[in-house]
Amino acid sequence: MSLDRPSHSHLSGLRVRMSMRNERVAHVTPLLPTAKLQKATLLNFLSTLQQSGVSQVFTSALRPREQVFFHDLGFVLHEELLLLGHDFSKPLNAPMKQTRKGRRSDWNQILDIDAIAFSEFWRFDDAALREAIEATPTSRVRVSAQNQISGFAITGRSGRTGFLQRLAVDPRYQRTGIGRSLVADALLWSKRWFVHELLVNTQIGNVGAQNLYESMGFNKKSDGLAVLKWNANT
């Protein structure tokens, strides 16, 4: 794989995204069940990355079985995440605040909000935003729609499973019902397309997000997720 690349590439069942902020950082997402990934190929790949100057590789949020596979490759825990799901067994509320479709021309504003809402590690760059939108066969980008954009949500669906991929509200407008309206929109859209469960993950300790999701009918799932990291020098 060439690393003089645009920001994304694929390697035998793995999507690789080079950080646009830090050329020494890469992000990987398994696209296949880990049983189908070749350990030797991935070890070679890590070595190629290291030779190209990459010093840290982070995984996407992994389920427990995927974590075992990456642990065996030398990855260690970076952060545990909470996984929540909504099974649509309870009635849904309509959004209180207006939202509209997010357009390509909104991306800069979306990225600005993302940058002030999230801490540095979790912050999206352009490639990460694109990856979140393209992670599922179908996705929906919504923005809160007063004069300027004050929040956004990205929701995807694959078969009967939905994923609330991203949600952020400009801190100046938080606690005014925008987050709740964006989640309500995501739930209604998912239900309209016969999604059985809408999943979302959040950092353990993100009390605001957890309260929001639980107050809207999401329940914690037992199998938590984790982001793992690989350090070239250890």
Closer to ligand COA by Cβ: residue 66 or 170 = 170
168 binds ligand COA (CB under 6 A): yes
Three-state DSSP at 2 gives coil
Is 215 near ligand COA (CB under 6 A)? Answer: yes
* The one among 102, 180, 217, 230 contacting ligand COA by CB under 6 A: 180
For ligand COA, the binding residue among 133, 169, 186, 195 (CB under 6 A) is 169
Q: How many residues does the chain have?
A: 234
DSSP codes joined into one string, 130-149: HHHHHSSSEEEEEEEESSSE
162 contacts ligand COA (rule: CB under 6 A): no
- CB nearer ligand COA, residue 180 or residue 230: 180
What six digits make up the tokens of 125?
A: 């760059």
**Among 84, 85, 62, 87, CA closest to 72:** 62
Describe the chain by its helix, strand, coil percentages, rounded to 5.
35, 35, 35
Shortest distance in whole angstroms from residue 116 CB to ligand COA: 9
The three-state secondary structure class of 168 is strand
Under rule CB under 6 A, residue 176 binds ligand COA: yes
Binding of ligand COA by 32 (CB under 6 A): no
Applying CB under 6 A, does 88 fall inside the site for ligand COA?
no
